[in-house]
């Protein structure tokens, strides 16, 4: 029972169905998608239609050099593929993202320099974002406004150009409202299948901190601090190269050091704007610190870390362990809490870990 409830917090990547007659091409396409999807590959459409019963996130269909709409029609006739985005990939490397439009009607819908992974990301995220229109107001605004700010941050952070704190706080208001109204389920559901991993992680962190903060009895100002601090806690990630973030193999020591640099990048960025509250910057600055001094970047100890930073550390660990990452699969919610309560016992505040567990069980996504 408890395990089942916790399972609803786990975020798994979507399935990408890859169809091509050549095993070599299928392997290449699967590898191009592996950082964000579980590829399932088939030699032909009939095989895919016969074996795939649950709609995948996307289909990548290897196509001959001349566009032929017939294969797409036969795929669309199968229930599991009726509404799934289909991407046509050609042997010359061209990608068409409107595979089901007649070639002449679509004009030249070739992707104009976007790679396969970019086209797939745009299409699958677009499907998720369209689904937000059907949500109640607070979760809909929470998702839409946080998405707009994340897109701004993705542009501004690498350029070192600041974003006013007011814009961040404004985008967190409907998120906090959704949490207060017990409409958080819609927010978590609305993130499922979104391809922008940094975005989905940031909103999950903010919403989970909102739930946790309410259970911990934080006042309004502290709640806003943890929610907005949670939302931007990894903002510096936007300045890290995509090839590092999508790496599917084990990290080298150097990779690890570069990844750890996201904390300093985040703090530097947030400090550029003098109106960003110090308490909010602290949440971002200290979410990888640990009570026993084993964290980073400063190796702070229990006495240096207030409840807000301790809560941010707990939520970030849980969120990270229960999300599929390019280089490893997600743990179950139960396993994640076990790791946090046993292996990580000296590092995380166990009184707060126990409270967080009850929050997760009460508020199953």
Shortest Cβ 78–Fe ion spacing (Å): 38
Structure tokens at 25: 């091409």
| Site size with Fe ion, rule: CB under 5 A | 2
Shortest Cβ 317–Fe ion spacing (Å): 9
Nearer to Fe ion, 234 or 324 (CB): 234
Structure tokens at 173: 């208001």
Shortest Cβ 203–Fe ion spacing (Å): 11
Give 106's contacts (C-beta < 8 A, 6+ positions apart): 96, 98
Of 276, 283, 242, nearest in space to 158 by CA: 242
Nearer to Fe ion, 195 or 316 (CB): 316
- In degrees, rounded to 5, the angle at the alpha carbon of residue 215 between the alpha carbons of residues 225 and 282 is 25
Q: Near Fe ion by CB under 5 A, which window of 50-58, 75-83, 173-181, 311-319?
A: 311-319
Nearer to Fe ion, 20 or 234 (CB): 234
Nearer to Fe ion, 101 or 259 (CB): 259
What's the rounded Cα separation, in Å, for the pair 218 and 212? 9
DSSP calls for 297-350: SS---GGG--HHHHHHHHHHHHHHHTB-BTTBPPPPHHHHHHHHHTTTTTTS-H
Nearer to Fe ion, 101 or 320 (CB): 320
User: 3-class SS at 148?
Assistant: helix
What's the rounded Cα separation, in Å, for the pair 154 and 210? 23
> Which 218-247 positions form the footprint of Fe ion (CB under 5 A)?
234
Shortest Cβ 262–Fe ion spacing (Å): 6
Q: Near Fe ion by CB under 5 A, which window of 177-185, 246-254, 292-300, 308-316?
A: 308-316
What's the rounded Cα separation, in Å, for the pair 162 and 240? 17
> Which 169-188 positions form the footprint of Fe ion (CB under 5 A)?
none
> Which 87-116 positions form the footprint of Fe ion (CB under 5 A)?
none
Shortest Cβ 295–Fe ion spacing (Å): 11
Nearer to Fe ion, 16 or 203 (CB): 203
Among 183, 316, 323, 324, binds Fe ion (CB under 5 A): 316
Q: Which residues bind Fe ion (CB under 5 A)?
A: 234, 316
């Amino acid at each position: 029972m408890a395990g089942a409830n916790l399972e609803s917090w786990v975020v798994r990547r979507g399935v990408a169905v890859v169809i091509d007659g050549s095993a070599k091409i299928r392997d290449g396409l699967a590898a191009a998608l592996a950082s964000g999807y579980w590829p399932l590959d088939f030699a032909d459409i009939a095989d895919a239609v016969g074996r795939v019963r649950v709609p995948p996130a996307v289909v990548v269909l290897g196509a001959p050099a001349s566009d032929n709409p017939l294969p797409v029609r036969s795929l669309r006739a199968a229930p599991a593929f009726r509404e799934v985005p289909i991407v046509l990939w050609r042997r010359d490397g061209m990608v068409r993202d409107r595979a089901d439009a007649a070639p002449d009607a679509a004009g030249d819908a070739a992707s104009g320099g976007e790679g396969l992974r970019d086209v797939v990301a745009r299409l699958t995220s677009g499907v998720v974002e369209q689904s937000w229109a059907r949500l109640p107001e607070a979760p809909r605004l929470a998702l839409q406004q946080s998405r707009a700010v994340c897109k701004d941050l993705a542009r501004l952070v690498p350029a070192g150009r600041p974003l006013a704190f007011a814009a961040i706080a404004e985008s967190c208001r409907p998120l906090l409202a959704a949490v207060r109204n017990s409409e958080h389920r819609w927010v978590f559901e609305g993130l499922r299948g979104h391809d922008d991993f940094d975005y989905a992680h940031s909103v999950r962190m903010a919403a989970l901190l909102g739930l946790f903060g309410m259970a911990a009895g934080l006042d309004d100002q502290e709640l806003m601090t943890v929610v907005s601090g949670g939302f931007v806690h990894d903002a510096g990630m936007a300045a890290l190269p995509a090839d590092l973030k999508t790496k599917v193999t084990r990290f080298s020591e150097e990779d690890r050091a570069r990844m750890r640099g996201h904390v300093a990048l985040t703090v530097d960025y947030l400090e550029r704007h003098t109106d960003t509250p110090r308490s909010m910057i602290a949440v971002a600055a200290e979410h990888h610190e640990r009570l026993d001094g084993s964290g980073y970047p400063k190796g702070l100890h229990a006495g240096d870390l207030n409840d807000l930073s301790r809560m941010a550390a707990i939520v970030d660990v849980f969120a990270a362990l229960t999300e599929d990452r390019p280089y490893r699969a997600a743990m179950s919610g139960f396993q994640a809490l076990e790791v946090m309560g046993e292996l990580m016992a000296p590092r995380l505040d166990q009184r707060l870990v126990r409270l967080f567990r009850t929050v997760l069980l009460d508020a199953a996504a």
